[in-house]
Chain A
Amino acid sequence: MQKEEKQLEQSLEGLIQRVQELKNAIQLFLLKLEHEYESLNWPSVLDNFALLSGQLNSLGRLLKNDKVPALRNHVFLPLVLSPDRDAELEKLTERRVMMFNHAVVPDYLRTKPEPEVEEKISQLTNKAGTVVQETAQKQFNNLNKITSNLLDIINSAKEEWESESNQKSSQPVTFSTADTNNLVSTILFGKSIKVTRKPDTSNTQSQGMSNQQQQQKVQSATVSKAPSAIKTQIKAASSSHPYQRP
C-alpha cells in the first residue's frame, strides 16, 4: 500500500513538473506573439510549436509509463466549498483562481463535456445514425481512396527528395582502378588479348602451326597489299628463323 502511495506521489511530482514546463513554454510563446509580432518569422513560430508538441509528447509518455499508477482509479473529492478568498490557492494558481466556491468547482472538476457541447455531440450522433448504410460505405470508400492517393503522392515526393539528397552527398563513381590497371597492362603487355601459347618446347610441328597462324595474321594485317614475291620470302624467313617465341 505504502509503495503504491509513494509511486503516486512521485508520478504526480513528475506530472506537475512537466505541466509546469509546458505552461512556461506557452507563456513564452504568447509573450512573443504579443510583443514581437512584427519581427516574428514563420520558422521561429514553427520552432515554438515544435517545442510545445515535444513537451506534450513527453507528458503523454509519462502518463503511459508503467510506473505511473492508473490515475483514473483515484477519486478527487472536494470536501469543503467556501465562498471566502483562499490565499494559499491564490498563490498556487498565480492569482487565476481566488476562491474555491460553487461557481468555479463545476468548471474545474468537470468530468463531462459542457452541456452545449454535449448537445452538439448528441445531434451529430443522431445524424450519423440516420445515414443509410450504403451511402456511408460509399463515403467511407471515397475517403479511403483520397487518403491513400495523398499518401502515395507524399511518399513518392519523399523518395524523390531523399534520392536527390543522396546523389548530392555521394560523388558519383567516374573511374575504376581495376579498369585502369587492366587497360594499361593491355596496351603495354597485351594482357587479356594476347593469344596464349604453349610454352615453347622446340616442337617442330607446333612451331610450324603457330608460324602458319602468324603468317595469316600478317597477311590479313596488310590487307590492301598486293600479293608479291615478298610474301613467300617471309614465309621462308619466318619459318627458318633462329629466334624462339617467348
Chain B
Amino acid sequence: MDSTGAMGQVLSSKVAPVVENFLQGSVLDTSKDVLIHRLRGLCDNAENQPEIFHDHEIVFIMQGNPNQQPINFHARHSLMHPDAWHLRYLGVADIGDKNKLTLIRHCVDAGVSSNVVDFLNEMGFKIDFEFIAKGYFFHKGRMKVTVSKLYKILQPGSTDQVEPLSQSHLVELSVVAPRVQEQIGEDMKNFAEQLKPYILYKIELKLDHLQTV
C-alpha cells in the first residue's frame, strides 16, 4: 500500500542509485535547423544523418499519502517500433542547491514489455496525461541530446490526431550517472554554452509549476 515509502526506500537504500543531470531549453521552430546542424557538428557520428524518433509517452500517477508527492512513471514507446516500451521513474528535481550547474534528479530506467500499461493499471496507477514527442536524438559520449516537438493528443488513444503544443522544439541535455559528479555538470554546462545563441537553458525550475498544473 505504501508505495511512496517503498520507492523512498529503494532510493535511500541505493538499490538503484542513479541520478540524472539535465538541462532543458527550447528553440523556435524557425531556428531548429540551425541547431540541428550545430548539434551534428558537436556530437558523435557527425557523418551520419541524425537519428530520429517518434514516441508516445504516457505518464501514470498514483497518489498514495495525500501529504506526499504523488509517484509517477513515464511509460514511453516508439511509434516506429510499437513493441519497444520503456519505463522511467523520475524523482523531483533538486532545486535547492544553486551552485549546481545542472538540475539533478533521481531516475530509474527500464526496458519493459508492451503490457506495462496493463500492469501499471493493475497496480493502481492512473493515466495522468499523455503526449507525442517527435524529433532528433544525438549523443556525445555519455551525454544524450534530444530535440523534440511535442504534440497534444486530440483524441485519447489515437496517436494520429495530434496538434503541436507550441512554436518551439524542446531541447534536453541529459547524463545519467551512478552518483552526483561535479565534472558532469561542468561538461554539460560547457556543451550548453556552445548552443547558447540558439537556446535558453533553464537552470531553475520553480516548484510553482506543481501548483499551477
Contacts and interface: CB of A to CB of B under 8 A. Distances in A.
Are A and B bound to each other?
yes
A243 B62 contact: yes
A174 B63 contact: no
Contact of A183 (B59, B61, B150, B213): B150
B205 A184 contact: yes
B64 A243 contact: yes
B124 A176 contact: no
A173 B35 CA distance: 13
B157 A219 contact: yes
Interface residues of B, number: 56
B157 A220 contact: yes
A46 interface: no
A115 interface: no
Contact of B131 (A175, A187, A225, A233): A187
Interface residues of A, number: 48
B27 interface: yes
B137 to A, nearest CB: 15
Contact of B26 (A183, A192, A194, A242): A183
Contacts of A187: 57, 131, 133, 150, 170
B27 A174 contact: yes
Given A183-B150, A221-B58, A221-B157, A172 B31 contact: yes
19 contacts: A174-B34, A175-B31, A175-B198, A176-B26, A176-B168, A180-B202, A183-B24, A183-B150, A190-B59, A191-B213, A194-B213, A217-B157, A221-B127, A224-B114, A225-B115, A238-B124, A241-B124, A243-B63, A243-B64
Among all A-B residue pairs, the 4 with the closest Cβ atoms: A220-B157, A190-B129, A179-B168, A174-B31
